[in-house]
Amino acid sequence: MKKLVFLTGAGMSAESGISTFRDSNGLWEQYRVEDVASIEGYWRDPELVQNFYNERRKQLSTVVPNEGHKLVASLEDKYEVTVITQNVDNLHERAGSTNIIHLHGELMKATSSNDPNNPNCIVTLPEDNPIIKMGDKAKDGSQLRPFIVWFGESVPMIEPAIMKVNEADILVVIGTSLNVYPAAGLLSYTNSLCKIYLIDPKEVKYDPSLGITHIMKGASEGMKELCELLK
């Protein structure tokens, strides 16, 4: 079975109605990234950060996977599929994908403030009340915090992602600007025989020597075209 690896970013979930940070009227315009997406911001005002992610979880409960998510999952019938995502939502899971590497953490999980990557402290929040309150404690006694990789923190899942990209027969990049590292650097780990597709309606800067096939469409329409090309 051929190994098909997806690298997905904010554009993958935008069609589902999830606010992106970088687009106009995106989340960056309402919040400073340093305040809600950095470890320094968390220690400076943990309550602001908790409230921000509590709101993100409430929003997540109101959206559903789009056609693009579903088509990614459907390819598991024909390929050994791995999804590497920069997104913290659970839309790939809800669409039926079974092998997902979350580079930047998972919105529906919480963890220790002192030791965020300790597996013993990572918990899944209940879907009917996915709220973290100040005073909620992790197993190690520290304040529970979002299980999110913030700016200023290491990306522990980058090594497994590199291994999957290196083994890929086909790599498909969907809805990511390829300017957030270390994820953007993953393309440099493809092997010489790997076929690379990029699905994005906008121009994206990338190394032309990679021989990328750019499908200039959104996630759902782009995935329909990709499925035809892969037949």
Q: What is the pLDDT of residues 118-161, one digit of tens each?
A: 999 999 999 999 999 999 999 999 999 999 999 999 999 999 99
Please give the distance of CA 50 from its chain centroid, rounded to a whole number: 19
Judge if pTM exceeds 0.85: yes
Query: Phi then psi for 198, rounded to 5 degrees?
Result: -125, 125
- Positions marked catalytic: 104
Q: For the segment 17-70, what is each residue's pLDDT rounded down to a tens digit? A: 886 655 545 555 678 888 999 999 999 999 999 999 998 999 899 999 999 999
The rounded distance, in Å, linking the Cα atoms of 38 and 22 is 16
Residue with tokens 């597709």: 197
